Amino acid sequence: MKKMTFSKIYTSIIFLFLYIPIGVLIVNSFNASKSRTVWTGFTLDWYSKLFHNETIMTSLLNTLVVALIASVVATILGTAAAIGIYNMNSVARKFIMNITLIPNVNPEIVTGVSLMLLFVFLKMEFGFTTLILSHITFCVPYVILNVMPKLRQMNRNLCEAAMDLGCNQLQVFRKVIVPEIMPGILSGFLMSLTYSIDDFVISYFTYGASSQTLSITIFSMTRRKVSPEVNALSAIIFVVVLAILLIMNIVDIKKHEKEARR
pLDDT in tens, 114-148: 999 999 999 999 989 999 999 999 999 999 999 99
165, pLDDT greater than 60: yes
Domain map (residue ranges) of the chain: 54-226
d(CA 123, CA 238): 39
* CATH, domain range 54-226: 1.10.3720.10
Q: Residue 7: pLDDT band by 50, 70, 90 thresholds? A: confident
pLDDT in tens, 75-111: 999 999 999 998 888 888 888 888 888 888 888 899 9
d(CA 195, CA 101): 16
Residue 215 in contact with residue 112, Cβ under 8 Å?
no
Work out the angle at residue 74's Cα, subtended by the Cα atoms of residues 190 and 230, and round it to the nearest 5 degrees: 50
pLDDT at residue 113, as a whole number: 93
d(CA 191, CA 199): 12
pLDDT at residue 122, as a whole number: 92
Q: Is 40 helix (H, G, I), strand (E, B) or coil?
A: coil
Name the average pLDDT for the chain.
Answer: 87
From start to end of the chain, where are the E strands? none
Residue 137 in contact with residue 115, Cβ under 8 Å?
yes
